Structure 1
């Protein structure tokens, strides 16, 4: 059914608009819709960021790193909340406060600092995250040249964003476009260089041991995964801005860039904490379930030691052990007993322990406490590569 509004007493309104305002109304799908859609996506990503922040503070602090990065997480969340509030305010002014004044709406980006500073707030958050990844690379490699070059790139990118903010109120489109392109190019270069350098360094550090090699592979994958979303976001924003300079479509991508950078940082911290927690839990489980070898008798003449591994057995100087009648292969002999018999009583008291890891045929790693409080191996994977000499551990 068609209703003729003139027959029921209504008359169409006549509004005279300036050419820019008329363009804003007729092309609302590329002038008004992008900031609104970008804000919707920004709020969704803000929820993900809140969840990641809760996970960060929920992890057990195994090495003190949580206290070291707590200020960074708090600052990052404060900046992202401010950015979300800015996006909501922009949408409010465009479609609520000035819904009948398109002439005012089209000028807000040039006269209201809360509107034309949106690119600068994104650049500040991106610079903070990029600086974190440069610091991470510095702690891994201590390479001054790459770190210095990337920090200069971060500085140039931030300066270019500041110049864009300066030229926006002056409506100097050619300079705005030029400095926006400079900002995006430096941002892409920094992300690509620091990600590639970090991944290459980690890959070069891969050892022959399977467990550590898998850990390095996981770190390499995490490096690329965290860098890919924000880098792609910058590339898409730059391409859209260059191909459609008179539209606001690029704002939809620019608005979410800050959250993509923030999520990449939080994902890195949470994955790092997760791997450290898994490693700590694995060591605790190994310590709590591993068998203990107790030396109960030592024969100084033959070099034989009676012991118990959850039972009884013997360790000989030829490097083999017999436990409950089962022959197992020891990775190292109990050299401290044979080399320093004078340190022990004859017969020794019950409960004397020797700091020697023994690898049984059933793949059970056995770790004994130290008689002389000698240092323990840092990792079970180091057992095959170490030896004891004169109460010192040598590789």
Structure 2
């Protein structure tokens, strides 16, 4: 939270008013993240367990954060209505709300670092820089929560303003490095066909979109802290950062079919035991016609045989260029 000081008679527009706007925007983004998570869990059943766990964790953290900020606004604007002494003190929920936001940001940025690691052919140095920024931001965030709980008032919180600015600066730097690195790696890929070029353009566009909003929100929060440290203007942005991270993660996961240009997921009514086994799927579309069926009636039976290959097996059988296979892997990683 910002280090605001609320003296008796001070206007609430740039303090509690800004906080209220932040809660409203955060609640809207929370609804969008719930919708996206529902789409994800009903669509992508074949994703690894750690990605599903990551999505579930971000949704739970978003729920916890929203509960904290709602409690904060209710305490200041309802329970402590016209109580100027209460407005100068920091309720416990206003300090703890930074914890789920920091954890969400750390989880999502670590997942992006994993992408960088895979797409950079396991570049330990580049991935290490990103993880170092993420860990530094998490450490500063934890220290901020402890110090904020000890501060007790917004006036005392002014003493740790440099730490608050450092958290936003580190988070912004990590987002910028991740987005620029992924875009550079994708741009360096040389498409061999029009389809491949379209996929690269889509990958770059989605990468920019998923990292742009979080970066802009963190920058806006940072500017508000520097320009107006004694108000809560920055709360309007900070309350939304965690939700933007979770929405960016879910948007990138749900957009994989769009990037590939088609909807190719296996129907949930069927189960493929292994990618290395050939699976035959047969269904009777129409029942066999009775023996006394008229001559002009037709009974149809359709046999669909689906063969699933590993990427290298598919390339060997059908001669698909290796670069297109690489782009498919990139699309799966978005």
CA, structure 1 residues 115+384, in 2 after alignment: closer, same or farther (shift >3 Å)?
closer
1:34 aligns with 2:18: yes
CA distance in 1, matches of 2:316, 2:258: 20
1:114 aligns with 2:93: yes
TM-score w.r.t. the length of structure 1 is 0.63
Give 1:193's aligned residue.
177
CA distance in 2, matches of 1:380, 1:220: 28
CA, structure 1 residues 53+20, in 2 after alignment: closer, same or farther (shift >3 Å)?
closer
CA distance in 2, matches of 1:135, 1:60: 20
Give 2:128's aligned residue.
148
Following superposition, the deviation at residue 379 of structure 1 comes to 8.7
1:90 aligns with 2:28: no
CA distance in 2, matches of 1:92, 1:377: 60
The CA deviation string for residues 167-187 of structure 1, in whole angstroms up to 9 with x for no partner, is 323254454210111111111
CA distance in 1, matches of 2:319, 2:10: 68
Structural mapping, 1:204-219, within 5 Å? 204-219=188-203
Q: More helix per residue: 1 or 2? A: 2
SS at match of 1:65: coil
CA distance in 2, matches of 1:379, 1:36: 60
The CA deviation string for residues 288-337 of structure 1, in whole angstroms up to 9 with x for no partner, is xxxxxxxxxxxxxxxxxxxxxxxxxxxxxxxxxxxxxxxxxxxxxxxxxx
Alpha carbons 2:314, 2:320 under 8 Å: kept = no
Measured on the aligned residues, the alpha-carbon RMSD in Å equals: 2.6
Q: More strand per residue: 1 or 2? A: 1
Give 2:315's aligned residue.
377
The CA deviation string for residues 326-376 of structure 1, in whole angstroms up to 9 with x for no partner, is xxxxxxxxxxxxxxxxxxxxxxxxxxxxxxxxxxxxxxxxxxx9xxxxx55
TM-score w.r.t. the length of structure 2 is 0.74
CA, structure 1 residues 20+184, in 2 after alignment: closer, same or farther (shift >3 Å)?
closer
CA distance in 2, matches of 1:47, 1:276: 27
Following superposition, the deviation at residue 202 of structure 1 comes to 1.2
The match for 1:136 among 102, 110, 115 is: 115
1:124 aligns with 2:97: no
Unmatched segments (≥5 aa) in structure 2: 267-306, 308-312, 324-334
CA distance in 2, matches of 1:148, 1:209: 34
Alpha carbons 2:257, 2:263 under 8 Å: kept = no
CA distance in 2, matches of 1:384, 1:179: 48
Following superposition, the deviation at residue 75 of structure 1 comes to 0.6
Following superposition, the deviation at residue 140 of structure 1 comes to 1.8
CA distance in 1, matches of 2:206, 2:230: 38
Alpha carbons 1:167, 1:175 under 8 Å: kept = no
Alpha carbons 1:233, 1:253 under 8 Å: kept = yes
Alpha carbons 1:160, 1:179 under 8 Å: kept = yes
Bigger Rg over Cα: 1
The match for 1:81 among 46, 60, 63 is: 63
Following superposition, the deviation at residue 79 of structure 1 comes to 0.2
Following superposition, the deviation at residue 237 of structure 1 comes to 0.2
The match for 1:162 among 130, 133, 142 is: 142
1:240 aligns with 2:238: no
Alpha carbons 2:62, 2:243 under 8 Å: kept = yes
Following superposition, the deviation at residue 217 of structure 1 comes to 1.3
Give 1:250's aligned residue.
234
